[in-house]
Structure 1
Amino acid sequence: MIHDVISANYKGDYKIEVQFDDGKKGIVDFSKYLGKGGVFERFHDIDFFRRFEVNPELGILSWQNEIDIAPETLYAEATHSSLPDWMEGNR
């Protein structure tokens, strides 16, 4: 089941507290994306990183409609649960 992101708050040090439509919430540490390159290079600009928003239509966390992270990935990381089986090989 896919759970939509309904709110998110920056906590410092590239950590964002994310809340989902089932009431669960947790902290996601985005510092690991800093070394991934590509579109994630933009995260090195902390001002850009802090300008994330929740897209209520899609239930995702987004950065200026340039970067988004799948809600399934956020949910797994925030709640310390497993990714859906269909995503396991894509991490």
Structure 2
Amino acid sequence: MPKKIYVGNLNYNTDEDRLADHFAQFGTVLSARIIFDRETNRSKGFGFVEMEEDEAAEAAISALNNQELDSRNLRVNEAIERERRPRDNRY
């Protein structure tokens, strides 16, 4: 079953391919997504990696938490799904 991983403290220049490659050493990466600010289109410094197997995801979390990628120590843990909030479109 796929497992989603939160990756924080990313270097603002790290791209999704680099992120996916970094996690691929532990198993199949289904997706790697960096979150960008809508207004500035700049990385927010965090993202998500989805891995095919739970065991691979757990191994990646254990091995990569607090490890360096692109001169930043990553914060890596299991992603927690948030409830979707309706957008407030009042202007």
> Shared topology, TM-score over 0.5?
no
Bigger share in helix: 1
Task: From the CA coordinates, give the structure whose radius of gyration is larger.
Answer: 2
Q: TM-score, normalized by length of structure 1?
A: 0.28
Q: TM-score, normalized by length of structure 2?
A: 0.28
| Greater relative contact order (CA < 8 Å, ≥ 6 in sequence) | 2
